[in-house]
Amino acid sequence: MQLLTALLSCLLSLLGGDGPSSHTRIVRASENGVEVLLSKTTLADGLATFHCLSSRSGSCHYRLYEEICRAVAGTPLQQQCDRRELESFDLGVGARRQVSGLPGGFDQCVGVARDPLDCA
């Protein structure tokens, strides 16, 4: 049984699996076929880890936010959403940052330049 567990752990690490209770988001941006940004965010057990893997500018600029939506009166399928910024920060290439206490529905945008950081 220990051998089987060790083999499964090795296989998951080769495939990039982070385990059953985690979620990983990779953001990759390119211009004219040239990669300008690569970022990895992992959320596991309420702890988000942001990792700037590469950036043309030398930094990844993050903006964390949540959308708060409510139905528009009289139109059952329309919603009006407001975006509430939770945090923004910069990471140099190779750097990581851990953030806890984010709401479950948080989202992010990440770019190579701080302004304008398009989070549309």
Rounded CA Rg of the chain = 18
The pTM score is 0.74
Residues 59 and 104: beta-carbon distance below 8 Å: no
The matching CATH number, chosen from 2.60.40, 1.10.3110, 3.40.50, 1.10.287, for 21-111 is 2.60.40
Hey, where are the domains in the chain?
21-111
Residues 62 and 91: beta-carbon distance below 8 Å: yes
**pLDDT (tens place) for every residue of the chain, 120 residues total:** 343 334 344 444 444 554 557 899 999 999 999 999 999 999 998 899 999 999 999 999 999 999 998 888 877 788 888 999 999 999 999 999 999 999 888 999 999 987 766 665
